[in-house]
Amino acid sequence: MTSRTAMNGQEEPRPKHLWIGGSWRSGADGQTFTATSPSTGRAIGTLQRGTAEDVDAAVRAARAAFNDYRLLPVWERAAICERIAQLILENEAHLAAVVSADQGKPLHREALPEVRKAATGYRNAAAHVKHLYGQTIPVEDPHKRVSTVRQPRGVYAVVTPWNAPVNIPTEYLAPALATGNTVVWIPAPSTSLCAVALAEILEEAGVPPGVINLVTGEGSVVGDAAVAHPDVDAVGFTGSVTTGRHIAHRAAGKAQLLELGGNGPTIVFADANLELAAEAIAAASFTNAGQICSASEVVLVERSIQAELGALVAALAQERRLGAPEDPGTSLGPLNNHDVADKMDRHIADAVDLGARVLTGGGRAPGRPTENYYEPTVLTGVPRDATLFAEESFGPIAPLTPFDDIAEVLEALQSRQFGLASAVWTRNMGRAMRVAEAARTGTVVINGPSTYWELHLPFGGGSGTSSGLGRIGGLQTLEAMTDLKTISVDLRGF
Ligand code: NAD
């Protein structure tokens, strides 16, 4: 199971196995499921449908590996991350082809950049772990010397979504590897071929047996078993609010890093550079077909420029070429699954019922191999009681809601249930900072797309919102994935 498997759109007869304790094996009860291409609807692989028994085996393997792995010198753990980065780059064409076929994002424009970004994630972890400093702390007692060290937490359950199937797992696996944790990784079923392809790279890079374990299957079965397992010490989860809340409950008492949903907003004042704002909104709303937690899913626009901004974004939407992910001319791929398309239908119908106007798009593109091809959609006049104003749509949509003064913006920012990422467009720096400081979102971009992020920047939900707990990104994740231990030494005892 170490050879790279071709991803040519043909059905893969050999089932992709679970990776537990360094060996590839079928699931305990031998059940499998089929990976289906979102762009063609055809079967592209067969995967193991793992069980709680498989998760238990993976946790035992991770526990057994932890004792040795945590003692591996930091420089050696960093070298493993470096080798993974190198192998990802050497195999980028293969990995990108798997991501594009399995997830649906355009091969050249999005899948390849995602894979390259993942290599950066492993490089960053290798670099950051060498700067994961403790402290020496002055104390009152003259005989004592006190310092802190950061130590791995132990066995992690990592549960990841399908929208960035190589990059989001990397946000956890790379810092886990660097800091000496071991992992049971549960990927989303609809992008589990990507997970197997990445695990093959980890194996080839020399990740010791049991340090990372991959169990595919239904999240409600294997994900649940992993996060609730009594011998799992900590949980890393990226996904929806509903699942995140469930996991927070099931993993109560364990360290938790939860990266959940978001829906903006992007705020545009009348003095903004409208061309740049429109480009940023189109990029943030239509990249990855809008399946990004920090997408511009709510655009609050000063009423006097709503029509102009709407027209600019609609023109950019119409320039997007919706097509097969492997086609080099495609700039918008299909959605990953029917659920997102169905939710888009519901949200748009509800907004239109309440008075919103569709400038472009508004439904599924006809005559495509599957129903996942969704037209990039721009709406104006979306009222604040529309479902899509409050909930995450997660599709290619830029809905504009007018406002009349900054007080309305500040009020809206405070009352929103999500708090992940926002953007503000204005040439007035004082106003931009007032908005940035008032937003409850973990990140705010001034005069840029709400999706702007580099892997080493802190990213996560604001406290009291539904968007999660903790910060992912670079050194912050390494800190989050380690326990701070205080060691006190009394000099008189020597
Ligand atoms: P999801 O919550 O449906 O699934 C996420 C993962 O959880 C999948 O692997 C799934 O199999 C698993 N799962 C499902 N039920 C489970 C259960 N009962 N116990 C344990 N695991 C379970 O989310 P999704 O649809 O795969 O992903 C999209 C969501 O992820 C969106 O809400 C998006 O905003 C969010 N997201 C957040 C970030 C971030 O950094 N904050 C990044 C990307 C995506």
| Confidence band for 313, pLDDT divided at 50, 70 and 90 | very high
294 within ligand 1 shell (Cβ under 6 A): no
Q: For residues 481 and 211, what is the distance between their CA atoms, to the nearest angstrom? A: 15
Model confidence pLDDT, tens digit, residues 184-194: 999 999 999 99
210 class by beta-carbon count within 10 Å (0-12 exposed, 13-18 middle, 19+ buried): buried
Distance from Cα 239 to the centre of ligand 1, integer Å: 2
Please say if the pLDDT value at position 366 is more than 60: yes
User: Taking phi first (over 0 means left), then psi (-120 to 50 degrees means alpha), and beta for anything else, what does residue 105 get?
Assistant: beta
Beta-carbon contacts of residue 234 (< 8 Å; ≥ 6 apart): 153, 154, 155, 156, 157, 181, 254, 255, 256, 257, 481
The answer to whether 388 and 297 are in contact (CB under 8 A) is yes
- The yes-or-no verdict on residue 270 having pLDDT over 80 is yes
Is the minimum distance from the CB of 50 to ligand 1 under 6 angstroms? no
- How many CB atoms within 10 Å of residue 384? 14
Same domain, 352 and 204: no
- Cα–Cα distances (Å) from 325 to 11, 113, 195, 334, in that order, read 18, 14, 19, 8
Q: Report whether 434 contacts 406 (CB < 8 A).
A: yes
The active-site residue out of 259, 297, 326, 375 is 259
CATH number at 414 reads 3.40.309.10
What is the signed CA dihedral for 124, 128, 130, 134, rounded to 10 degrees?
Answer: -170
Identify the CA nearest to 464 among candidates 415, 423, 391: 415
Nearest partner of 122 among 188, 198, 65, 68, judged by Cα: 198
- Ligand 1 mean position to 241 CA, how many Å? 8
Question: How far is ligand 1, taken at its centre, from the CA of residue 183, in Å?
Answer: 18
- Give a yes or no: residue 372 inside a domain: yes
pLDDT tens-digit readout, 418-433: 999 999 999 999 999 9
Cβ of 239 less than 6 Å from ligand 1: yes
Q: Indicate whether 240 pLDDT > 90.
A: yes
Same domain flag for 209 and 272: no
* Same domain, residue pair 361 and 426: yes
Only one residue has tokens 């721009």, namely 378
Alpha-carbon span 319 to 89, nearest angstrom = 31
Residue 186 Cα: closest atom of ligand 1? 9
- Place 376 in a pLDDT band, splitting at 50, 70 and 90: very high
- The answer to whether the CB of 442 is under 6 A from ligand 1 is no
Give the per-residue pLDDT at 28.
Answer: 94
Q: Which stretch of DSSP H or E encloses residue 74?
A: helix 74-90
pLDDT at 414: 87
Same domain, 280 and 140: no
Tell me what pLDDT residue 243 has: 98
- Per-residue confidence band for 3, with pLDDT thresholds at 50, 70 and 90: very low
CB 187 within 8 A of CB 176: no
Question: Are 172 and 202 contacting, i.e. CB atoms less than 8 angstroms apart?
Answer: no
Per-residue pLDDT for 50 more than 60? yes
408 lies in some domain: yes
The dihedral over CA atoms of 4, 288, 9, 361, expressed in degrees to the nearest 10, equals: 180
Is residue 144 situated within a structural domain?
yes
Q: Name the residue with the closest Cα to ligand 1, atom 9.
A: 188
Q: Which long-range contacts (CB under 8 A, 24 or more apart) does 436-440 make?
A: 438/410, 438/413, 438/414, 439/413, 440/413, 440/414, 440/416, 440/464, 440/465
pLDDT confidence tier of residue 7, bands split at 50, 70 and 90: low
In this structure, is residue 459 part of a structural domain? no
* 272 and 326 together in one domain: yes
Given a cut of 90, is residue 142 above it in pLDDT? Answer: yes
For the segment 68-96, the average pLDDT, to the nearest whole number, is: 98
239 Ramachandran zone, left/alpha/beta (phi>0; psi -120 to 50): left
pLDDT digits (tens, 9 = 90+) for 160-216: 999 999 999 999 999 999 999 999 999 999 999 999 999 999 999 999 999 999 999
pLDDT confidence tier of residue 383, bands split at 50, 70 and 90: very high
Task: Choose among 296, 294, 289: nearest CA to 267.
Answer: 296
- How far is 107 from 116, CA to CA, in rounded Å? 12
* H-run or E-run covering 175: helix 167-179
Pocket lining: 462 vs ligand 1, CB cutoff 6 Å: no
Same domain, 245 and 280: no
DSSP 8-state secondary structure symbol assigned to residue 107: I
Q: Is the CB of 466 under 6 A from ligand 1?
A: no
Residue 8 has pLDDT above 80, yes or no: no
Do 359 and 217 reside in the same domain of the chain?
Answer: no
CA 422 from chain centre, in angstroms, equals 16
Q: Tell me: pLDDT of 147 over 80.
A: yes
Residue 259 annotated as catalytic: yes
Print the domain residue range for 221: 4-260+471-483
Residue 460 forms part of a structural domain = no
Separation CA 98–CA 195 (nearest Å): 10
Ligand 1 centroid to residue 240 C-alpha, Å? 4
What pLDDT sits at residue 479? 96
Check residue 16 and give its pLDDT. Answer: 79
Q: What is the mean pLDDT of the chain?
A: 95
Would you state the pLDDT for residue 14? 63
User: Does 214 lie in the same domain as 113?
Assistant: yes
Query: Is there an atom of ligand 1 within 6 Å of 261 CB?
Result: yes
pLDDT in tens, 278-308: 999 999 999 999 999 999 999 999 999 999 9
Out of 4-8, 40-44, 156-160, which region has the weakest mean confidence (pLDDT)?
4-8
pLDDT at 415: 86
- 244 CA: nearest ligand 1 atom: 2
SS (H, E, C) 195-239: HHHHHHHHHHCCCCCCCEEECCCCHHHHHHHHHHCCCCCEEEEEC
Who's near 29: CB < 8 A, 6+ residues apart? 49, 51, 53
Q: Over range 374-387, report the average pLDDT.
A: 97
462 lies in a domain?
A: no
| Contact (CB, 8 A) for 473 and 492 | no
pLDDT (average), residues 111-130:
98
Say yes or no: 278 and 410 in one domain. yes
pLDDT-based confidence at residue 452 (cuts at 50, 70, 90): very high
The reply to whether 208 and 279 lie within a common domain is no
Whether residues 414 and 475 share a domain: the answer is no
CATH code of 74's domain:
3.40.605.10
Q: Residue 158 forms beta bridges with which residues?
A: 185, 236
Q: What is the pLDDT of residue 377?
A: 98
pLDDT at 11: 45
Q: How confident is the model at residue 63 (pLDDT cuts 50, 70, 90)?
A: very high
Single out the catalytic residue among 194, 293, 302, 326: 293
CA of 231 to the centre of ligand 1 (A): 23
High-pLDDT (> 70) share of the chain, %: 97
Statement to judge: residues 326 and 212 lie in one domain: no
The count of domains in the chain is 2
